[in-house]
Amino acid sequence: MCGIAGVFTRTGVGQAAVSVVRRMNDLQKHRGPDDEGLYKDPYCVFGHRRLSIIDLSKDGHQPFFSDDSRYIMVYNGEIYNYIELRDELIEHGISFGTATDSEVLLKAYLHYGPACLSRFNGMFAFAVYDSLEKSLFLARDRFGVKPLYYTQTNGTFYFASEIKALRQTVGQTYTVNEQALFEYLCFNRTDIGEETFLNQIKRLHKGCYAIYGESLKIQQWWDPETFLANPVADSVEEICRTTEELLVSSVALRMRSDVTVGSCLSGGLDSSILAGIVYQHKHASGDYLTFTAAFPGYALDETRYVEALNLRYPFKNYQTYPSANNAYENLRRFVYANDEPLTGPSFYSQYEVMRLAHEHNVTVLLDGQGGDESFAGYQYLHGFRFNELFRTGRYGKLAAEMLQSIIRGQEKEGFQTFLFQVFPPSLRKTLLLRTLPHIKKSFFSQHVDHSVIYQRFFSAPDLNASLARHFLYKFEHLLRPEDRNAMAFSIEARMPYLDYRLVEYLLRVPGSLKLKKGETKMLQKRALGKYSIPQIVERRDKIGFGTPGNQWMRDERWQKLTETNYRVLCDRFPHIFNDRVQLKHNLYDRWKINQIATWLEVFNN
């Protein structure tokens, strides 16, 4: 895990570009405190900050050069299957001078070209400069785990791992992207496609590569929707066996490290299964470290489940206690670390978990991110299942599944999602606007038809299509804080549920095996529940990474801050915010007001 940065222009860079890249390196030091590197020629400057994970020697220093020095690479991430790829390349007559995954990545690119990307099992963002052709190749992993941002001005191309590195070094006027602001305010989503909160800075979209020669050309190399057309024909038993084999293999690959590995642990299914696999497959012993956010006195506190799991697996568990007070005190640092506004206070709890792991000298953490997307863990996904039954005329089954959802005590999100899909557009918009009294109707009307979430996500015809579109449009808003919160404390977060082999296979598994009759994650429980404990597998009250944000927003200091920040936003954006309404005691509305205002203040936008 590292930080990368660069400047490229075919007309030639000046000495000022070196200063810019050095400054970008400094701003990303937290991403790589172990080493720093710089490369310069008349057309390109590369910068790199290294967090040493695999091969801690100087062999891993970057920028990394090809054997003939024609190609220069900066790379952020991990290629977990680098050993297997190295052996494959050796069979093709390619020799290696180091034991690093960096050398494997560069030589795979030189051998296969862009086709190398489909061979990588990992998370990555990298750039390769061809010093002979004066061209640049950039790429990101399938899911967008590792970030890559860029901007262009006066014929010069700049890129970096974090927006702050560009925003605070590249001299140009930055303006707020109001379409991104709309998606955030209306649909509680960020990090959609190439758009950021700033019009002048773009994100290289997940599963894409770019070539910059005379101009920038972007090509998508991975699309989750392509796997929907080839459903598996395996029996349920075979599906369960394959699912288990793939996740077990994924964990084994992600335990490869030359530094200490630990785990984030909640009282939920995803992280408890990972802990079970780590122990049952002998990847850890009693000194394995786990880290939990605890909320004593709150109903959503999960420490009792962690303690029950600890009776089965002898890990060491450390707990942190996020609160309204420390969230308030750390708000500016938290917003700065994450570059852009975040959608909920659970990300602050994650930030504190990463801090705790850092205090215990853990450099790599396994995390359960991605389990809800692959195994259908969100309550509102019932709505896509209902719509699938409705569209195909299976009304009796639809009624039965709705009744089962009610009997199981499922929340209303599934029914709301279903109705939102079947209502005519005019009614959808009317109902949606009623939930946003603080947003002006003119702003809503101007942006809703351009909304990716409104136009693309909710049009998914069935459950599996909605899961594929999660990966396309909704998932990266979880991955940005995963990366930034971990990197703020120089930690590499690894997500076994995001092994592409597992995700691609599960997209081909019938949706009815994952979710129906009011129950989510059916396949995960059947195939992998044995690694957890019954108290967790049988839970019906698990809601994501639970954080008592509603109570936090009622804290006196938070209430005063919210009132002040709302007035600031009404003055700054009078065409967006309605100053004639009182903000409801709504967690997400209040949280977002404070995120936007603090972001504007911290980055002086």
Give the residue numbers of the binding site.
101
Query: Which residue is catalytic, options 2, 186, 208, 240?
Result: 2
The two tokens of residue 425 are: 């557009």
Q: Are 549 and 346 in contact (CB under 8 A)?
A: yes
CA distance to 181, 390, 474, 488, 568, per residue, from 339 (Å) = 14, 42, 18, 11, 20
Find residue 466's DSSP bridge partners: none
- The rounded distance, in Å, linking the Cα atoms of 342 and 349 is 12
CA distance to 179, 426, 447, per residue, from 442 (Å) = 13, 15, 9
Query: Which DSSP state fits 137?
Result: E
The two tokens of residue 472 are: 């396309």
2 is catalytic: yes
Q: Are 388 and 462 in contact (CB under 8 A)?
A: yes
- The rounded distance, in Å, linking the Cα atoms of 394 and 56 is 59
The two tokens of residue 150 are: 């860029």
Q: At what angle do helices 331-338 and 587-602 cross, to 10 degrees?
A: 80
Q: Are 339 and 31 in contact (CB under 8 A)?
A: no
Strands 149-153 and 202-203 turn out to be antiparallel
CA distance to 548, 556, 587, per residue, from 552 (Å) = 6, 9, 9
Binding-site residues for L-glutamine: 101
Q: At what angle do helices 269-280 and 236-254 cross, to 10 degrees?
A: 70
Q: Of 453, 447, 368, nearest to 188 (Cα)?
A: 453
Sign of CA dihedral 473, 476, 478, 481: negative
Name the 3-class secondary structure at 113.
Answer: helix
- The rounded distance, in Å, linking the Cα atoms of 210 and 123 is 17
Output the DSSP codes for 416-473: HHHHHHHS-HHHHHHHHHHT-TTB-HHHHHHHGGG-HIIIIITT--SHHHHHHHIIII
Torsion on CA atoms 18, 24, 25, 27, rounded to nearest 10: 150
For residue 78, what is the enclosing H or E element? strand 71-79
Length of the chain: 605
State the amino acid at position 323 in one-letter form: S
The full 3-state SS of 264-316, as one line of letters, equals: ECCCCHHHHHHHHHHHHCCCCCCCCEEEEECCCCCCCCCHHHHHHHHHHCCCE
Find residue 139's DSSP bridge partners: 126, 209
Active site residues: 2
